[in-house]
Amino acid sequence: VEAELMRAQRLESLSLLAAGLSHDLRNILQPLLIMPDLLKARTDDPQLHHLADIIAECGRRGHEMAESMLSFVRGSRNTSEHICLVHLFEGVELLLRSNLPAKVTLHLEVAEGLVVDANYTELQQVLLNLSLNGIQAMPDGGRLTLRAAAAADTQGEDWLQITVSDEGIGMDAQTLSNLFNPFFTTKATGTGLGLISCKRIVEGAHGTIQVDSTPGVGTRFEVLLPMQAVADAADTLDAPTIAGAGQ
Ligand code: ADP
């Protein structure tokens, strides 16, 4: 219990630090987002254009990092609503397909009528984070599968099960034991905040997240969320995302 408490306190101070940092960082980076275009407008020199593009790209990446730090810090303070899984998967598919590497194929399977209580944007973020990690783990291509189904645990409780599976590089024991630690990354341009924010969001919605991975074979993330009772969810089906907001 004490270790758990210390962990929570460390995470809390880290959150405060990250909130301050990301706020300042966004302000500092603002000129980097705008000025490269102003510079380019003043010269035809292709080499200067190239340099300006690199500066702009660094600005965008820094901005992205600040954004993901902020959404990590915000955690799960958002309101929850009834979410229709078919609708959620449609949105995720649209975003993923808009930028899918040619050698990666995408498969989505979702059972009709599944509903869960969570924040729509946050849950979408979880699926996108897990999917993008999966895609990045398959530099030579492969199949990314997202599945949503009902699942009962050993006590007969009903859960909504969402899995994201890839056929990528997989993870060794060292990576597996660190992957939910903030700032842990094996990527040159990673933030190491993707999975910890997935975990915070899922746990904020009273769920769990687990991973199963084999080096050279692939990785499967499983998210379990409390299943919404069918009667309670009936009014959700026509208006998938907005019915009954707040908690
Ligand atoms: P980031 O993607 O910025 O590195 P994450 O918290 O999302 O941060 O992931 C942490 C690390 O976990 C990654 O750097 C990678 O080593 C590992 N990882 C996450 N998802 C996968 C996956 N699907 N396949 C292989 N490794 C993964």
pTM: 0.73
Range among 36-40, 142-146, 149-153, 203-207 with highest mean pLDDT value: 142-146
Q: Is 180 in the pocket of ligand 1 (CB under 6 A)?
A: no
Neighbours of 247 (CB within 10 A): 11
Residue nearest to atom 19 of ligand 1 (CA): 133
Are 225 and 202 a contacting pair, CB within 8 Å?
A: yes
**79: burial class by Cβ within 10 Å (0-12, 13-18, 19+)?**
exposed
Q: Is 225 in the pocket of ligand 1 (CB under 6 A)?
A: no
Q: Which residue type does 95 have?
A: L
Q: What would the pLDDT profile of 94-132 be if each residue is shown by its tens digit? A: 889 988 999 999 999 999 999 999 888 889 889 999 999
Q: What would the pLDDT profile of 1-16 be if each residue is shown by its tens digit? A: 777 777 777 777 777 7
Q: What would the pLDDT profile of 53-97 be if each residue is shown by its tens digit? A: 889 888 888 887 787 777 767 655 567 889 999 999 999 998 899
Q: Which three-class secondary structure state does DSSP give residue 109? A: strand
Give CA–CA dist 81/88, Å, rounded: 12
3-state SS of 142-182 is EEEEEEEEEEECCCCCEEEEEEEEECCCCCCHHHHHHCCCC
Centre of ligand 1 from the C-alpha of residue 179, in Å: 7
Q: Is 175 in the pocket of ligand 1 (CB under 6 A)?
A: yes
Length in residues, the chain: 247
Q: Is 179 in the pocket of ligand 1 (CB under 6 A)?
A: yes
Which residues, at least 6 apart from 195, have a Cβ–Cβ distance to it below 8 Å? 129, 133, 179, 180
Virtual torsion, Cα 102, 210, 86, 144, nearest 10 deg:
10
148-185 exposure pattern, b = at least 16 Cβ within 10 A, e = fewer: beeeeeeeeeebbbbbbbbbbbbbeeebeeebeebebb
pLDDT-derived band at 197, boundaries 50, 70, 90: confident
Centre of ligand 1 from the C-alpha of residue 196, in Å: 10
Q: Which three-class secondary structure state does DSSP give residue 48? A: helix
Alpha carbon 191 to its chain's center: 12
Centre of ligand 1 from the C-alpha of residue 238, in Å: 36
Give me the interface pTM, i.e. the ipTM: 0.98
Centre of ligand 1 from the C-alpha of residue 1, in Å: 28
